[in-house]
C-alpha cells in the first residue's frame, strides 16, 4: 500500500480524536494538525510515522500541544 493511501486512511481518525479532545470543529482540528510538527513528521516518509497507529500519532500531537507555547506566550517572548 502506498504511503499516501495509508496517510489518507489514518488522518481522518486523528482529526476525529482532536475534535473530541479539544472540543473544536473539524475545520479547526484540521488547521491545528496540519500546522503542527507532528503533521510535518507524518508527511516525511523518512520518519516512518505513517506506519504507526492513529492513536499513537495523536498522542505525539497531544504532547506537542501540551508543550507548545501559546500565542500570547509567543508574543510576550517576541516570536510574533
pLDDT score recorded for residue 69: 67
Q: Is there a contact between 67 and 37 (Cβ–Cβ < 8 Å)?
A: no
pTM: 0.80
**Per residue in 2-33, pLDDT tens?**
678 888 899 999 999 999 999 999 999 999 99
Burial (Cβ within 10 Å: 0-12, 13-18, ≥19) of residue 75: exposed
Distance (Å, rounded) from C-alpha 55 to C-alpha 17?
A: 8
Residues of the chain with pLDDT > 70, as a percent, come to 82
Residue spans of the domains in the chain: they are 3-76
Amino acid at each position: 500500500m502506498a504511503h499516501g493511501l495509508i496517510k489518507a486512511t489514518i488522518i481522518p481518525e486523528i482529526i476525529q480524536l482532536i475534535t473530541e479532545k479539544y472540543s473544536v470543529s473539524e475545520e479547526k482540528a484540521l488547521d491545528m494538525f496540519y500546522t503542527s510538527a507532528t503533521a510535518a513528521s507524518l508527511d516525511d516518509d523518512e520518519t516512518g510515522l505513517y506506519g504507526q497507529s492513529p492513536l499513537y500519532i495523536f498522542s505525539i500531537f497531544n504532547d506537542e500541544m501540551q508543550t507548545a507555547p501559546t500565542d500570547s506566550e509567543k508574543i510576550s517572548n517576541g516570536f510574533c
